[in-house]
Amino acid sequence: MQIIEAYLGEVASHLMTDIVTETEILREIEGHLLEAVADGEQVGLSPEEAARQAVARFGSPREIARQFREVYNESVSQAVLSAALPVLLTMLLRSVVLPWLHSLRGWPAGPAPLFFLALIVLALLVPALVIRRWRYGYAAWAFFSVMAILQAGSTP
């Protein structure tokens, strides 16, 4: 099916993504096109005509690539955010918040440490609920962030 291969090559030339993402996108498009070709052949079209119609109905390769770039670029942004956010929160809490809390009278007596720990967990948990695709990687970073914060909180 040279028509489909040429179409996929044209889409690939406009994707501008990493090879893994590009392969995933092209497989998805190819699957849809092959289904459309099979449907066309069932109604009596030749394989070439069915492929030609499937490609024509699918849309402009440039437009299809643009739409997929929008979806996958958002995913890349979430991946970067999911890696950076726990580190930034940890640095902020260890460098600013914990020294300030240690300077207060009565720290770590009373319920303050538990309340503070609950705030840390909440601050690290909320993004994990929003970032769906990268939540497992984010959870690992968040765990190590909590450990680093607790370690800093236990030393004066």
Q: If you average pLDDT over residues 16-26, what whole number do you get?
A: 83
Is 33 inside any structural domain?
yes
Contact yes or no for 127/85 (Cβ under 8 A): yes
Residue 129 domain-assigned (yes or no): yes
- State how many domains the chain has: 2
Tell me what pLDDT residue 32 has: 94
Residues 148 and 92 in one domain: yes
Last residue of a domain, one of 13, 28, 59: 59
pLDDT for residue 92: 77
The answer to whether position 14 is within a domain reads yes
**Residue 30 and residue 88 in one domain:** no
Based on the fold, state whether residues 83 and 123 are members of the same structural domain: yes
Structure tokens at 143: 């765990």
- Model confidence pLDDT, tens digit, residues 75-92: 666 667 667 777 777 777
Q: Are residues 84 and 142 in the same domain?
A: yes
Residue 64 resides in a domain: no
- Reported as a single tens digit per residue, the pLDDT across 95-151 is 777 777 677 665 555 556 666 667 767 766 666 666 666 666 666 777 777 777 666
* pLDDT for res 43: 95
Q: Are residues 84 and 148 in the same domain?
A: yes
Please return the burial class of 76, using the count of CB atoms within 10 Å of its CB with bins 0-12, 13-18 and 19+.
middle
pLDDT at 63 over 80: yes
CA distances from 42 to 35, 46, 56 (A): 11, 9, 18
Are 62 and 112 in contact by the 8 Å Cβ rule? The answer is no
pTM: 0.51
Question: How many C-beta atoms lie closer than 10 Å to residue 92's C-beta?
Answer: 13
Please check whether residues 93 and 44 belong to one and the same domain: no
Q: How far apart are CA 156 and CA 93, in angstroms?
A: 14
Residues 54 and 81 occupy one common structural domain: no
Q: Which domain holds residue 124?
A: 76-154
The pLDDT value given to residue 112: 60
Is 10 contained in some domain? yes
Cβ partners under 8 Å of residue 79, min gap 6:
133, 134, 137
Does residue 41 have a pLDDT over 80? yes
Q: What is the pLDDT of residue 131?
A: 62
pLDDT at 111: 55
pLDDT at 13: 92
Whether 66 maps to a domain, the answer reads no
> Are both 43 and 9 inside the same structural domain?
yes
